[in-house]
Chain A
C-alpha cells in the first residue's frame, strides 16, 4: 500500500500548504461575512451563539491549553463581566465605557482566585475553581444590586456611530469581530515571551524556574488574561440578551466551555473554535429528535474522547 500512503501524504501536504490554508481561510471568512444575506434569523441566532462560545473557549484555552491550569469555574468571569456591564448601564454609564471596567473587575477576580490557589496542585485547583464558580453565582443570587434570583432585566441596547445595535444581524457582526480580535490576541500572546513561559512551565516547572521564570506570576497572568476574555464576552452577552440571571452562569455553563476546549484540542486555536462550533451546532441540528439528542450527544462525546483524546483538531507534525 505504498501508493496510498504517498497519496495521503500528498493530500495532507496540499491541505497544509500555506497558500491553500490562506485560500480556505479567506473562503471561510467570506462565507461567514456574507451568510446573513441568505439565511433566516434562526441561523443567524445560532451562529451568533457559536461566536459567543468561541470567544469563551479561546479565553479558557489560554488558562487550560497554554498554561495547563484546570479551571472548572470559568463562567464566573463571564458572570462578572455581564453583571458589571448590566449594573453600570443601569446607573446610566455608556456601554462602551463599561467594557474596560468589566475587564478590570474580571482581572481582579482572576487575581483573587489565582493568587492564593496557584501554589496548589492541579487537582486541588480544580476543586477551588469549582467552588469559586458557585460562590460567584450564589453571590449574584443573593445581592440586591445584582437583582437577586430574577437577575437584571431591561439592559439597554448599545449604539455605535449613531447606529443602535438591535437586530440579530448587528450582533452577528459584532460577535464575529470579537472572535477575530480574540484570535489575534491569542496568537500574539502565544508567540510572545509570556506565551513561551507558559509552555516552559507546562513542560517542566522546575526547569522553567531554574531559567528565571516566576511560576506563580506567570500562571497568574494566564488567569488574568483568560478572565479578561470572559469579561468582554460577558459585557456583550448582557446587551445582546438585555436580561441576565444567576442561572445563566451555573456550573453547566463552565462545563460546556471546558468541553469545547478539550473536545477541540487543548492549546490549539482552531481546536477551540471547532469545539465551540460542535457544541452549539449539534443540539440545534438534532432538535427534531427532542430529548434523545442529549443522549446521543453524550454518547458521541464519549466516543470522541476515547478515540481522539488529543482533541478533534489534528496535531501538527514536526
Chain B
C-alpha cells in the first residue's frame, strides 16, 4: 500500500484553479520530488497535503486514512512533518527549544503534571530533551543547541528546521524547497542528509524543489506539474526526456 495517495486533488481560489485534478502515489520509504516551473502550483499542492490550505475537491490518503481538509496539527500528529520554504523558526528561543517543539504531539504532560512536578512529567521532560538532542546530533549542530535561533548562520537555521521536523517522529517528511539559499557544499550535504533520512531513519521524503541538479540526483520518482496539472511522472531519465516537460520549462519551438 502506498504511504501517500493523492486522488484528483483540486484547489480553487475563486476563479483561479491552482491545482487541477492532481493524482500521484508515493511508495513507502521512497524519495519523490514534485517539480514544475514557477507558479505551476507546487506550493499550493504542498499546502493542501499539510493542511494549511483546504482543498476544493478530491482526496488525500495518508497510510490509507483520509487527511483531506484536516487541520495541520492533526496531520502532523498522524506522522507527516513539513519544513517551510522561508524559514519559520521560533527566532527568540534557543535551538534546543526549537527542536523540542517537535516532541509536543508525542508527549502528553498537562497542567497538573507541571505544577506538581510529577515523576511522569519529569521523565517526559528528560525524554523530550534527549530526543531533541539526538535530532540535533543527526543534522550535525548539537554543539549549537544553546544559541538563539536568530543568531545562527542561514545554513544552520535550515538544519534547525529539519531537526525540528524530525523530532515529530514522522513517517513522511515534506520538504518545501530545502535547497533554497544554500551554497554548493551545503547542497551536497543536503543530498547526503536526505539519503540518511531515508536509509537510516526509514522515513519517506517528498521534495518540492527548483534545483534540478539536486532533484535529479536524489529522487526515485519525479512528478512534474504545470498550470496545476500533472504533465509527467517517472524516473529522472524518463522525465528529462519527456517532450512535455521540456516544453513546460523551455517553451515550444515555433512551428513554421
Contacts and interface: CB of A to CB of B under 8 A. Distances in A.
Contact of A212 (B76, B93, B97): B76
Interface stretch (B107-115, B134-142, B183-191): B107-115
Residue of B71, B76, B115 most packed against chain A (CB within 10 A): B115
A268 to B, nearest CB: 14
A211 B76 contact: yes
Nearest to A189: B114
A236 B5 CA distance: 59
Interface stretch (A195-203, A239-247, A290-298): A195-203
Residue of B52, B93, B148 most packed against chain A (CB within 10 A): B93
B113 to A, nearest CB: 8
Residue of B77, B90, B113, B128 most packed against chain A (CB within 10 A): B90
Nearest to A191: B114
B101 interface: yes
B73 interface: yes
Interface in A213-248: 213-215, 221, 225
B88 A221 contact: no
Nearest to B168: A212
A45 interface: no
Given A192-B109, A211-B101, A203 B115 contact: no
Contact of A197 (B71, B81, B84, B104): B104
A193 B107 contact: yes
A197 B124 CA distance: 15
A12 to B, nearest CB: 19
Contact of A208 (B97, B101, B109): B101
A211 B128 CA distance: 14
A188 interface: yes
A210 B88 CA distance: 10
Contact of B97 (A188, A196, A204, A210): A196
Contacts of B115: 185, 188-189
B148 A209 contact: no
Contact of B105 (A185, A191, A212): A212
A104 to B, nearest CB: 14
Contact of B73 (A195, A209, A225): A209
Given A193-B124, A203-B90, A211 B164 contact: yes
B92 interface: yes
B218 to A, nearest CB: 23
A253 B181 CA distance: 51
B200 to A, nearest CB: 22
Contact of A194 (B50, B73, B76, B111): B111
A212 B73 contact: yes
Given A196-B101, A197-B104, A200-B90, A209 B72 contact: yes
Contact of A207 (B90, B125, B148): B90
B111 A211 contact: no
Contacts of B110: 194
Interface string A7-29: 00000000000000000000000
Nearest to B169: A212
A212 B113 CA distance: 20
A307 B93 CA distance: 25
Interface in B109-159: 109-111, 113-115, 117, 121, 124-125, 128, 148
A200 B77 CA distance: 17
Contacts of A196: 97, 100-101, 104
B100 to A, nearest CB: 6
Contacts of A204: 88-90
Nearest to A225: B111
Contact of B72 (A185, A189, A210): A210
Contact of A210 (B84, B93, B107, B113): B84
A197 B97 CA distance: 10
A40 interface: no
A211 B102 contact: yes
Contact of B104 (A185, A188, A189, A212): A212
A199 B90 contact: yes
A284 interface: no
B20 to A, nearest CB: 25
A318 interface: yes
Interface string B67-83: 00001110011000110
25 contacts: A185-B115, A188-B114, A189-B115, A192-B114, A193-B114, A193-B128, A194-B109, A194-B110, A194-B114, A196-B97, A203-B92, A204-B88, A204-B89, A206-B52, A208-B101, A209-B72, A210-B50, A210-B52, A211-B102, A211-B104, A211-B105, A212-B105, A213-B101, A213-B105, A221-B111
Given A191-B114, A196-B97, 10 more contacts: A189-B115, A192-B109, A192-B113, A196-B101, A203-B91, A203-B92, A208-B90, A209-B76, A211-B73, A214-B73
Of all A-B residue pairs in the complex, the 4 with the closest CB atoms, nearest first, are: A212-B105, A192-B114, A212-B76, A207-B88
Interface of A: 185, 188-189, 191-197, 199-200, 203-204, 206-215, 221, 225, 318
Interface of B: 50, 52, 71-73, 76-77, 81-82, 84, 88-93, 97, 100-102, 104-107, 109-111, 113-115, 117, 121, 124-125, 128, 148, 164, 168
